[in-house]
Structures are given as C-alpha cells and as structure tokens.
Amino acid sequence: MAVEVVYRSSRDPERLFMDKAEADRYDKMLELAERLSEVLHKAVPSLSEEQGEELGIFMAKNRDVFAKAFKSQPDALDELEIDAASE
C-alpha cells in the first residue's frame, strides 16, 4: 500500500495539491482576491457580491500583469487573456 502526501488549501478545503508551496501560493492568491473584492465593493457599491468576487479572483490571478500596468506600462494589459465565453 502506497502512501501519498497531499496538501489541502485552507481557504478552499475541496482543493488538493501535491506540493505545499503550490497550496500556499493558491491560498495567498485567494487571500488577495478576497481583499480586492472588499475594496471593489467599497469603491463600487452597485457591484453584486458575485461580480466583486469574480473581479477579485481575476485580478489576483493576474497580479503580475496588473503590477506592470500600474508601474507605467499600461500595454502590459494586452497580455491578459480574457475568455469572453466565461462571461
């Protein structure tokens, strides 16, 4: 019988990872997404909770691209792959 070590996300218990570092990165991304969602809700109260969460996750997943854009490289946003079918 083989033993397999898996790591569970603390913010998304259904999500399992084979690598602790990957699980930690995922949790940090979800933490950032949550904070972004809170800020977006305060800035735009008309956003639904679902829209705020989706925007927060999108921005957190693409944090490197947004960081470049905020550092006077707005063309970096061209790197974003936006799937119109998921909207």
**pLDDT reported for residue 1:** 80
Structural domains for the chain: 7-80 (1.10.10.710)
What residues are paired with 7 via a beta bridge?
A: 17
- Mean pLDDT for the stretch of residues 27-53: 95
- Mean pLDDT for the stretch of residues 13-41: 93
- Mean pLDDT for the stretch of residues 44-53: 94
The helix (H) or strand (E) run that includes residue 17 is strand 16-17
Band of pLDDT at residue 9, cut at 50, 70 and 90? confident
The yes-or-no verdict on residue 53 having pLDDT over 80 is yes
Output the pTM of the full model. 0.78
Please, which residues have CB within 8 angstroms of residue 7's CB and are 6 or more apart in sequence? 16, 17, 18, 19, 20, 22, 23
Rounded to whole angstroms, how far apart are CA atoms 7 and 62? 23
- For residue 54, CA distances in Å to 2, 12, 33, 34, 71 come to 39, 15, 8, 10, 24
**pLDDT reported for residue 13:** 85
